Amino acid sequence: MPLTRANKQALIVDIAERLKKASSVIFSDYRGLTVKDMNALRHLLREKGMEMKIIKKTFIRLAAKNAGISEPDDAALEGPISVTFSYSDPISPAKILHTFSQAHEALQIRGGFMDGKILKREEVNALAVLPSKEELLTRLVWTFNAPISGFYTVIRGTLSGFMNVLSALSVIPDRKVA
């Protein structure tokens, strides 16, 4: 059943609200994915608090205009488009979609939005290979810990060496220590 004008307007308002609320939005071409693959991807995204919708390009352009976001370029909206909305972590959808596209070549990332700025395909892929926040915090902790750990190893090595010399001297029979 075709959508009425009122339904279309309500849909555009809904998409505009999602665009405003989302920390990042990723556009991808899903042609060639099976229904099983698409459901698996949607399930994976849903587990992380994201959602994927299939939206007409015209609605995306009108909703972006209503949301006050600059309109995505034609390359981002080439072919049938799925739109992934993330409301908390802006990098996670890029990572998930990039990883999924490695296993399923039919899925192609086209571009997206982050903080109201348009992202090209290359920028989304660059975000996807960045380390996660947890990885960066772990690296920071290891960086802070390295000098302390090194100092401990040096002190321990010196004391161990001294103890080894004393123990070697105690084993030598009839040896007088002067």
Q: How far is it, in rounded angstroms, from Cα 102 to Cα 100?
A: 5
Q: What one-character-per-residue DSSP string does the chain give?
A: -PPPHHHHHHHHHHHHHHHHH-SEEEEEE-TT--HHHHHHHHHHHHHTTEEEEE--HHHHHHHHHHHTPPPPPTTTT-SSEEEEEESS-SSHHHHHHHHHHHH-TT-EEEEEEETTEEEEHHHHHHHHTSPPHHHHHHHHHHHHHHHHHHHHHHHHHHHHHHHHHHHHHHHSTT----
What pLDDT, in 10s, does the model give residues 47-85? 999 999 999 988 988 998 888 888 787 777 888 899 999
**Model pLDDT for residues 30-45, shown as the tens digit of each residue:** 999 999 999 999 999 9
So where are the chain's domains? 5-128, 132-178
Residue, of 150 and 126, whose pLDDT is higher: 126
**Digit-coded pLDDT (tens) for 104-114:** 999 999 999 88
Quick one: pLDDT at residue 145? 83
Q: Is the pLDDT of residue 160 over 90?
A: no
> What is the predicted pLDDT for the residue at 173?
67
Q: What CATH number has the domain spanning 5-128? A: 3.30.70.1730
The tokens of 135 are what? 């990885």
pLDDT value of position 82: 92
Of 78, 17, 4, 79, nearest to 51 by C-alpha is 17
Q: What is the mean pLDDT of the chain?
A: 87
Query: What Cα–Cα distance (Å) separates residue 169 from each residue in 53, 124, 148, 159, 174?
Result: 77, 66, 32, 15, 10
Per the model's pLDDT, the better-predicted residue between 47 and 177 turns out to be 47
Instruction: State if pTM tops 0.75.
Output: no
